[in-house]
Amino acid sequence: MSATIIDGKGLAQHMREALKNRVASFPNPPGLAVIIVGDNPASQVYVSNKEKACVAAGIHSEVIALPGETSELDLLDRIEKLNADPKIDGILVQLPLPKHLNSRRVLDSILPEKDVDGFHPSNVGALFLGNPGLQPCTPHGVMKMLEHENVEIRGKHAVIVGASNIVGKPMAVMLLHAGATVTICNSKTPDLGHHTRDADILVVAVGRPNIVTGDMVKEGAVVIDVGMNRLENGKLAGDVEFESAKMKAAKITPVPGGVGPMTIAMLLENTVEAAARKREEAV
């Protein structure tokens, strides 16, 4: 039987409408600053999509596009100004940064309460401990999708392929907190199929087309494809071979139209949440 296709685009749209109403109740709009360094074409598309989504939700948006040769000192200086700017509730530095910049130092310089990516060590630590904080957008969006699809997590085996700081590691912690038994694999794991075939919930976030094929999917599994790869023919593809995997899975996300739109919706939600927390503190 063919899987149900999880409509991330539809759910994200629904969430963005709800956020728009919440934003309208603020005396002044929440603000998001996005910094992009250099001219990576994929990053430019992502940043432009984030900006459009902000404007549509009524969020004040500032895009700071800096030349590829920007020094670390200049970038840190920009972030310091945004940290102190009362119009700005969220700051996002688009990754990857040019090689001469130390990403860790840059991300650590963002105030944790404005860190809408959830990449600052204090937000990472809060997630690890189960304390309140801002959570990384992509895995948070995946959790929302699973919840919306009424996917049972407690007692299930979740297998994550990919151990990045942006997706794989935080995804593992979120699923663990939700009661799953979690296995984390990566692109070098020998006999990857041995692990993936045992997954009730399979999350793939490696950035390599077809790393997971239908024969590596358990009958009735829920498959979440975080990959976003541009093929030689110009088409977008995920990490999962969709046609064969959908014949085995109970539910599966498409690419595009699955996880990607949810990431943006969660970024907007984090920005509004950061703004709400700041306003609560001020009362």
Nearest distance from C-beta of residue 69 to ligand GUN, angstroms: 20
- Measured from the CB atom, the residue of 173 and 216 that comes closer to ligand GUN is 173
| Tokens describing residue 137 | 């957008």
Q: Which residue, 199, 222, 212, 281, is CA-closest to 242?
A: 212
Tokens of 113: 């309460």
Least CB distance to ligand GUN at residue 103 (A): 10
Of residues 117 and 200, the one with the C-beta less far from ligand GUN: 117
Nearest in space to 37 (alpha carbons), one of 111, 102, 123, 115: 102
Q: What is the C-alpha to C-alpha distance for residues 80 and 212, in angstroms, rounded to an integer?
A: 42
Residue whose entry in the numeric block shows the structure tokens 């997630």 = 127
Of the listed 7, 89, 94, 135, which one is catalytic?
94
Rounded to a whole number of angstroms, the distance between the first and last alpha carbons of the chain is 55
Shortest CB 249 distance to ligand GUN, Å: 25
Q: Which of 7, 89, 115, 117 is catalytic?
A: 117
Closest CB 283 distance from ligand GUN, rounded Å:
31
Take residue 256 and report the two structure tokens written for it.
């595009």
Residues that bind ligand GUN (CB under 6 A): 92-95, 117, 137-138, 166
Q: How far is CA 68 from CA 4, 38, 62, 96, 282, in A?
A: 43, 4, 19, 11, 38
* Residue, CB closest to ligand GUN: 95
Report the DSSP beta bridge partners of residue 184: 160
Instruction: Enumerate the H helices of 7-92 as residue ranges.
Output: 8-24, 41-57, 72-84
**Shortest Cβ distance from residue 145 to ligand GUN (Å)?**
16
Nearest CB to ligand GUN, comparing residues 216 and 266 = 266
At a CB cut-off of 8 Å and minimum separation 6, what does 186 contact? 161, 162, 163, 168, 206
Q: Out of 50, 144, 218, 246, which one is annotated catalytic?
A: 50
Q: Is 50 a catalytic residue?
A: yes
Catalytic status, residue 198: no
By C-beta, is 93 or 217 nearer to ligand GUN? Answer: 93
Q: By C-beta, is 8 or 246 nearer to ligand GUN?
A: 8
Return the DSSP state at 247: T
Point out the residues that are catalytic.
Answer: 50, 94, 117
